């Protein structure tokens, strides 16, 4: 049995579906069973628990042989670093003594120790604490999520403009949640000695201009790129409802992506979903909901 944390989110659900397509048994851990209806219909078992209910989560994990563990993002109106580090501790405590044969953990490009830097430092801490458990550990470090762009669909459609913290011509690795799910499923099904860090990205590097062009093609209208200057990043995050510490750490994380441009892994695992296909599918789903 594969246990999937965050199983109703983009990457968790993609992992669950990839496993179910292969006939593998899957348990989804969620706080809200209603959100997992489609996964239950696809054959997943649903376990309801808050990620901070350590004892309950440990019992669920004991029912599995492998687990896909991800640290869900905190509400940006909170001190996200503090909240997410606390969640890391809760997940690691639940996994301790759960008797798992293997853990696959979701992490990120640029994971590193140091001063608070959003996911980069939180997920490095997650990796390090999971290693202390002494269980076989496979870590998938993901490139920038294509879904960060597709979630802007309504705004882009309304304003015909794509806001971007990145320069319009900055090419960076990006990856679709579907490809992350495929790679997580592959490692969950692999032998226990398949451990260590792998980097996962899509078939090519893409720029914000490429994202705007993909929206333009799918929507059938021109889309401009509105680049937010670096000295306005924190204020922009604050306008979006981020707390002061969250705005500061997200701005620092964004700056790290820009400053590290070109320092990408030499031999990543490549998914097959192009940015254009991901955006097109998002637009089509958006039309179906309207």
Q: What is the pLDDT along the chain (290 residues), one digit of tens a residue?
A: 999 998 888 999 999 999 999 999 999 999 888 888 899 999 999 999 998 999 999 999 999 999 999 999 999 999 999 999 999 999 999 999 899 999 999 999 999 999 999 999 999 999 999 999 999 999 999 999 999 999 999 999 999 999 999 999 999 999 999 999 999 999 999 999 999 999 999 999 999 999 999 999 999 999 999 999 999 999 999 999 999 999 999 999 999 999 998 899 999 999 999 999 999 999 998 776 65
Rounded CA separation 67/130 (Å): 12
Name residues whose C-beta falls within 8 Å of residue 55's C-beta, 6 or more positions apart in sequence. Answer: 94
What are the Cα distances from residue 83, in Å, to 12, 51, 171, 245? 20, 12, 31, 11
Q: What are phi and psi of 118, to 5 degrees?
A: 60, -140
Q: Could you tell me which of 193, 212, 77, 189 has the C-alpha nearest to residue 135?
A: 193
Q: Could you tell me which of 51, 25, 61, 72 has the C-alpha nearest to residue 185?
A: 25
For the chain, percent helix, then strand, then coil, each to nearest 5?
45, 20, 35
Rounded CA separation 278/290 (Å): 19
In the chain, count of helices (H) and strands (E)?
12, 13
Q: Which residue do the tokens 């940015």 mark?
A: 275
Rounded CA separation 79/263 (Å): 29
Q: Which residue do the tokens 């376990």 mark?
A: 47
Residue 93 token pair: 């405590």
Stated pTM of the model:
0.93
Q: Could you give the dihedral angle defined by the CA atoms of residues 151, 155, 158 and 164, in that order, rounded to the nearest 10 degrees?
A: -110
Task: Give strand pairing partners of 140.
Answer: 106, 198
Rounded CA separation 224/241 (Å): 24
CB atoms within 10 A of CB 130: 21
Query: What is the pLDDT, as a whole number, of residue 33?
Result: 86
Query: What is the pLDDT, as a whole number, of residue 288?
Result: 67
Contact indicator for 83, 71 with CB cutoff of 8 Å = no
Residue 245 token pair: 């510490």
Considering only CA atoms, give the Rg of the chain: 19
Q: Could you tell me which of 105, 112, 109, 113 has the C-alpha nearest to residue 131?
A: 105
């Amino acid at each position: 049995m594969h246990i999937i944390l965050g199983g109703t989110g983009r990457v968790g659900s993609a992992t669950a579906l990839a496993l179910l397509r292969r006939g593998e048994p899957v348990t989804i851990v969620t706080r809200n069973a209603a959100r997992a209806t489609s996964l239950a219909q696809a054959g997943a078992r649903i376990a309801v628990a808050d990620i901070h209910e350590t004892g309950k989560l440990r019992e669920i994990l004991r029912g599995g042989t492998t687990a896909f563990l991800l640290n869900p993002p905190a509400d940006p109106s909170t001190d996200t670093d503090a909240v997410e580090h606390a969640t890391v501790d809760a997940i690691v405590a639940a996994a301790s003594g759960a008797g798992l044969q293997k853990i696959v953990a979701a992490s990120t490009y640029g994971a590193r120790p140091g001063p608070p830097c959003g996911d980069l430092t939180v997920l490095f801490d997650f990796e390090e604490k999971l290693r202390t458990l002494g269980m076989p550990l496979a870590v998938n470090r993901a490139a920038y999520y294509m879904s960060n762009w597709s979630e802007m669909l309504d705004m882009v459609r309304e304003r015909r403009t794509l806001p971007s913290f990145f320069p319009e011509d900055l090419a960076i690795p990006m990856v679709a949640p579907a490809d992350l799910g495929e790679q997580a499923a592959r490692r969950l099904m692999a032998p226990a000695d398949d451990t260590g860090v792998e980097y996962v990205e899509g078939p090519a590097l893409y720029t914000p201009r490429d994202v705007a062009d993909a929206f333009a093609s799918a929507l059938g209208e021109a889309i401009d790129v509105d680049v937010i200057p670096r000295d306005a990043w924190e204020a922009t995050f604050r306008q979006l409802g981020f707390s002061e510490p969250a705005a500061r750490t997200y701005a620092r994380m964004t700056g790290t992506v820009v400053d590290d441009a070109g320092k990408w892994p030499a031999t990543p695992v490549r998914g097959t979903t192009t940015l254009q296909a991901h955006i097109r599918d998002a637009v089509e789903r958006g039309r179906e909901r309207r």
